[in-house]
Structures are given as C-alpha cells and as structure tokens.
Amino acid sequence: MSIKRRVSLLVKLYFSFCILSNSNVWGIVLHTLDDPNDPTFGQPAVHPEPSVLGRWGINASCVAISPNYIITTRHQGGGVNSTVTFGGIEYKVAEVFVSGNADLRIARIETPNGQPANLASSNYVSIYTSTSEFNKSVVLGGFGKGRGGELTGEGGAPYGYSWSGEGNSTFRWGANRIDGTATVSAQDPSNPSITYTSYSLKADFDAPGAATAVACEAILAVHDSGGGWFIQDETDHWTLAAINAYVTRQNQAWYDDPSTSPTDPDTMYGIRISSYAGWILDTAKFFAIPAGDANWDGGVNVGDLGVLAANYGGTNKKWQDGDFNADGIVNVGDLGILAANYGGVNPTNLKGDNAMDLNTFIVPEPATCIFLLVGFAGILFQFRSRHKSG
C-alpha cells in the first residue's frame, strides 16, 4: 500500500469515528444478502458458540471471557449499570477495568438483582495469547447492520455495498484473513478530548472470487464494535484474537475503489488481544481467579485436573489448557499449582466484605505439598491411562 493511500486511510478512519454519535458505533457485511427464511445464509458453518457473543446496550457488541467477565471496546460509551444481553438473558455491568488509553475494557457482569452472572462454560471463550496471528483465518461475530444494495460505478461495474438494518438486534457470522498489524489512534465520539491508541490487527474486504478472499468474506459495519475475531486451533478450540473496532468507511463497504488501480479494498481493524494478554491476565488476578482453575468455573476441582491431564506434556499451551505458570508447557510445575489450590473457592463469586484476595488461597507447607503432589500424580496417571485406553 502506498504512503499516500496509508495517510488517506488514517484520515478516513479518524473521520468515520469522530462523526458518529454516542449511539452509533461500529455489524457484519458479507457478499451475500440476508435470506429472511434462513438467518444463517451465506455465513460460516463452523464458528464458536453464538452464546459467547452478547449485545452491549442498544449500540454495540461484547464477548464473554469467563463466567462473570466480558470484554469490549470503550468508544461506544456506557459503563457501570449498562445492560448487556447473552443468550437472550439480560445482565448489568457491575464494574469496569480499562487498559491505559487503549480502546479496550473488561467488565464484570451480574444479574439485575446483584447475583453473579455465572455463565455456563459453553458461553465464554479463552483468549489468544500467541503473536502468530498473521495470515490466519478468523471468524467474525457481532450484532449490527448487514449488506444492503450493490454499489456500481461507471459502466455498471460493482465495487461494494451499502449498509442495511437498524440497531444491534441482528446477529451474524462472517470470515476473513488477518493481513497484518497496526497501531490505531481514534477520538472518542462523545468526548473529543479523549484519544484511544490501540495495538490492532487488520484485514481487507476482498472482492468475490479474489485469490486472497476466504469463504464467507466479510467486513464490519455499524453496531459491531466489541464483537470478536475468533481463531480455531488444531484441537477445534476457539480463542478470541481481536475485538471489533474500526472500519475505513461509513455507511458503505467497498471491495474495490473505482478511483484506484489495482484493486484497493476497505480495511477493518480489531483490537489485538495478544498485545493486551498480560493486562488481561493481571486483571484476571485482580478478580482473583484461583490458580489452577483451568475452566474458569469458579473453583479448583477434578474438572481442572482433567484439563491438565489431557494436556500434560504439551507445548504452546495456555492457562485454559492447564499452563498456570505461563511457561507454555503443562508439566509438574502446573500440577503443583493445581494441587496447592485444590478445593479453592473463586472470589469472583463473592461480594463486598466477603471478597477474598488471590493470596488468601492456602499454600501448603513443603512437606504437605510433597504429599499432595504424590497424591495428584497418582490421579493424573489414572486420568491419562483412561484417556489413552478410551
């Protein structure tokens, strides 16, 4: 991309972002039109559970990353007491955690009567912590506008689509391929004195049939901010790689710019999760997720031991695989952490004066720890033996 085009791109991004009102933020536009008789027509058949994505108020989207915590962008506004909806059930935002001046935040959610949301394990995803996103295929998800009418230029040649739809009530999946990274700065539409600067992933909206296009190629549109880009690993596990944030054009999606040659498609940007993985995990410590709680279900128990056993000896692993000391390997060190906290209660399910700090989890004395490791090693062996025989 030329320097001139790159400068133009940033101006368009800045302008599109700043002229929006607080109730208008960044939906999924595909090359296919919606089919009223088939709500999934033209969308990827393989994708995460739809329940991991929620609606933020009436103007955006969000993604659940644990039973009681969600992640989204900041520029759509709202905060504590905002309504979010997952699986048709309404929750409210109880607390918000932000990452410096990045367009990213984590929110703790609870029921309208103040009880923990406790979303089921199928209703949230783990985060993608590797920096190997380039050229990977992603599935996009969000609530918002879709494809409208086709745009044609001189001689009737098509080059894009208008946006269509109202509000953040329509859910769609799309797909794309990550083309690179970028650092994006954008003003808050409701407070121009605030500028967000975020490490981001980017992807182009390639033309139908283009060599670089993927099946169900899509780009973001209005009301999709806060939704997600998801990567599926070799074990069919879905992880969150980016949060929907920006596009280079408002009200339309172009896969070709009629004024340029060669083809110059629109670009979309998602806040890069791997760049903020440390902050997310540090914030997770603040919510005091017990060390050893691989599945984030609120406690350290046999379910977590099963996760660790299934991944024991593996490399390039994450917390959700049983790598509790973040060295990328699931081994005896992680088993020791799980053993030390076995039976622990998740403080995120406690409130007020009953809240516990992560440090209050019992760490056994050395002799006790050796005893626990021996016991858990036996259980681990049984788990692995059953796994192999099955």
pLDDT tens digits along 367-387: 434 445 555 666 666 666 655
The mean per-residue pLDDT over the stretch 48-63 comes to 93
Looking only at the bridges linking them, the beta strands covering 238-247 and 126-127 are parallel
The full set of domain ranges for the chain reads 3-278, 289-389
Residue 86 pLDDT: 95
Distance CA 193, CA 184 (A): 16
Is the pLDDT confidence value at 365 over 80? no
Residue 41 pLDDT: 74
- Residue position matching structure tokens 């979309």: 268
Is the pLDDT confidence value at 111 over 50? yes
Is the pLDDT confidence value at 298 over 70? no
pLDDT tens digits along 147-169: 889 999 888 889 999 998 777 77
Distance CA 293, CA 86 (A): 23
The model's confidence at residue 191, banded by pLDDT at 50, 70 and 90, is confident
The model's confidence at residue 75, banded by pLDDT at 50, 70 and 90, is very high
Based on its alpha-carbon atoms, the radius of gyration of the chain, rounded to whole angstroms, reads 22
Q: Choose the weakest-confidence range: 291-300, 310-319, 320-329.
A: 291-300
Judged on CB neighbours under 10 Å (0-12, 13-18, 19+), 386 is exposed
Better-predicted residue by pLDDT, 83 or 372: 83
The mean per-residue pLDDT over the stretch 48-75 comes to 92
The mean per-residue pLDDT over the stretch 194-214 comes to 94
Contact 74, 104 (CB under 8 A): yes
In this structure, what token pair is assigned to residue 317?
A: 């692993």
What pTM was computed for the model?
0.70
The mean per-residue pLDDT over the stretch 202-206 comes to 96
Better-predicted residue by pLDDT, 354 or 260: 260
Better-predicted residue by pLDDT, 18 or 71: 71
pLDDT tens digits along 317-340: 877 788 887 788 999 999 988 988
Is the pLDDT confidence value at 297 over 60? yes
> What's the mean pLDDT when you consider all of the chain?
79
Is the pLDDT confidence value at 388 over 90? no
Domains 3-278 and 289-389 equal at CATH topology level: no
What is the number of H-type helices and E-type strands within the chain?
A: 5, 19
The most confident of 102-106, 165-169, 345-349, 361-365, by mean pLDDT: 102-106
Q: Rounded to whole angstroms, what are the CA distances from 264 to 28, 235, 295? A: 20, 35, 43
Residue 80 pLDDT: 96
SS (H, E, C) 242-261: EEEEEECCCCEEECCCCCCC
- Residue position matching structure tokens 């009102």: 21
The model's confidence at residue 291, banded by pLDDT at 50, 70 and 90, is confident
Question: Tell me, which fold does domain 289-389 have in CATH?
Answer: Type 1 dockerin domain (1.10.1330)
Distance CA 352, CA 175 (A): 42
Characterize 271-307 residue by residue with b for buried, 16 or more Cβ atoms within 10 angstroms of its Cβ, and e for exposed: bbbbbbbebbbebbeebbbbbbbbbbbbbbbeebbbb
Contact 26, 246 (CB under 8 A): yes
The model's confidence at residue 350, banded by pLDDT at 50, 70 and 90, is very low
Distance CA 87, CA 171 (A): 11
pLDDT tens digits along 124-135: 888 998 899 999
Better-predicted residue by pLDDT, 377 or 364: 377
Distance CA 282, CA 288 (A): 9
Distance CA 56, CA 105 (A): 12
Better-predicted residue by pLDDT, 242 or 38: 242
Q: Check residue 19 and give left, alpha or beta (phi > 0: left; psi -120 to 50: alpha).
A: alpha
Distance CA 278, CA 319 (A): 12
- Residue position matching structure tokens 């991309």: 1
Better-predicted residue by pLDDT, 169 or 86: 86
Q: Report the DSSP beta bridge partners of residue 28.
A: 220
Residue 237 pLDDT: 84
Residue 150 pLDDT: 92
Q: What are phi and psi of 224, to 5 degrees?
A: -100, -5
Contact 99, 119 (CB under 8 A): no
The model's confidence at residue 36, banded by pLDDT at 50, 70 and 90, is low
Residue 21 pLDDT: 28
Is the pLDDT confidence value at 22 over 50? no
Question: Tell me, which fold does domain 3-278 have in CATH?
Answer: Thrombin, subunit H (2.40.10)
The model's confidence at residue 200, banded by pLDDT at 50, 70 and 90, is very high
Q: Could you count the other beta carbons within 10 Å of the beta carbon of residue 33? A: 15
